[in-house]
Amino acid sequence: MTGNQTAGSAPRQVDPPEHRYAAELQFLAAYDDGARPPGWLLTPRAVVTFVVGSDERPLVLPAGTAAPEGVPPQLAISEKFVGERALVERCVVTLAGERGLLLVGEPGTAKSMLSELLSAAVCGTSALVVQGTAGTTEDQLRYGWNYAALLAQGPTRGALVPSPVMSAMSAGAVARVEEVTRCLPEVQDSLVSILSDRRIAVPELSGEDSAVPAAPGFCLIATANLRDRGVSEMSAALKRRFNFEQVHPIADIELETALVRRQAAAVLERVHAPFAVDDAVLEVLVTAFRDLRTGSTAEGWEVERPSTVMSTAEAVSVAAALGLASAYFPAGHDALALLPGHLLGVVRKDDPADAARLLGYWDGAVRRRAEQGGQLWRQAWELREQLEL
């Protein structure tokens, strides 16, 4: 059984965190028996530990704790989100206060992953989610109707189709709205009354069914990109109902390289192939992404930034592609030799003219590093002609 397949279930490409890390969640529930906010499965402290890990240190169940069946007496909690612990703590405090949490940042900074991890740890499911798009309707945030039942029975509670947000309200769980600023303003504003009144009115019904109140523990996590096209500005009324937390790119190159390696290796693991990309090649890859993302190098050289976002998520995709090429086409395929072509594919996503900026990066930072004696950078410089196609 693979890490993405639970007992008795069909194989999945990706398991939600509540399944993938079920053993850790069960362990933490037994490990920390402190006070929990209403409806929470774990203590706030245990939620933070679940997200950021235990620093590779095994946690030991307190003496006398009756561990559930299958839960080990000690367990090291894996690091899942690479970022500031203080950020995660602020997010957890926001949710404990049943206030809306808005995670903002550039694409590829793991906002969605963080929202999934928090949801899984707080209420045991990350599945109550609405994906915001220009086509998202108010019904998808509130409720709709089973029209066959509506025609047969008229407006009844049985004919009502709850949205993921309404389901979370009824269960006292966490609802997630991805890319909330991609929704039209009038659709966004349907969240104002939900976060203020803590209920969804159903005027088609009467009596107790005319409103669905939020059970204790209900809260909402939304995500929004700072640098994206087709976004709609949030109203001031909606902004006031959220606590904003900005998720920044990973500051430390070693941490980012380790994350890229771990995530890319997980992609290869799903197809039962070894991840054979050399660490030095990964360092070149991550360094190039960081230089192009920030517009400067660690040496202080200026770099012209492409219009596309050179995110860690994109770096993981490139690293996985290099790993897959090495696994499936091992003969004559050097991972470093494939890197320029993949970088070119990334930078041209938003504007084909950005290919010239990547070539300028090669003629600047890559050439200077090659002249300073870096062996891999010399090899990378010799691949320049791939960028002239």
Report the amino acid identity of residue 267.
Answer: V
DSSP conformation class of 302: B
pTM, rounded to two decimals? 0.90
**What pLDDT, in 10s, does the model give residues 143-182?**
999 999 999 989 999 999 999 999 999 999 999 999 999 9
Contact 246, 84 (CB under 8 A): no
CA distances to 24, 95, 99, 114 from 91, rounded to whole Å, are 20, 6, 10, 10
pLDDT score, position 354: 93
- 225/206 Cα distance (integer angstroms): 40
pLDDT score, position 17: 96
Following DSSP, what letter does each residue of 196-237 receive, concatenated?
Answer: HHSEEE-TTS-GGGGEEEPPTT-EEEEEEESS-SS--PPPHH
pLDDT score, position 8: 52
Residue bearing tokens 């492409």: 306
pLDDT score, position 71: 86
Q: Which residues contact 329 (CB under 8 A, 6 or more apart)?
A: none
Cα dihedral angle (157, 159, 165, 170), rounded to 10 degrees? Answer: 30
Instruction: Name residues of the chain where pLDDT drops below 50.
Output: 1-3
**What pLDDT, in 10s, does the model give residues 5-18?**
555 567 777 889 99
| Mean pLDDT, the chain, whole residue set | 92
How do the domains of the chain map onto residue ranges? 17-246, 253-388
pLDDT score, position 108: 87
Select from 3.40.50.920, 1.10.287.90, 3.40.50.300, 3.40.50.1100 the CATH code of 17-246: 3.40.50.300
Q: Which residues contact 140 (CB under 8 A, 6 or more apart)?
A: 130, 163
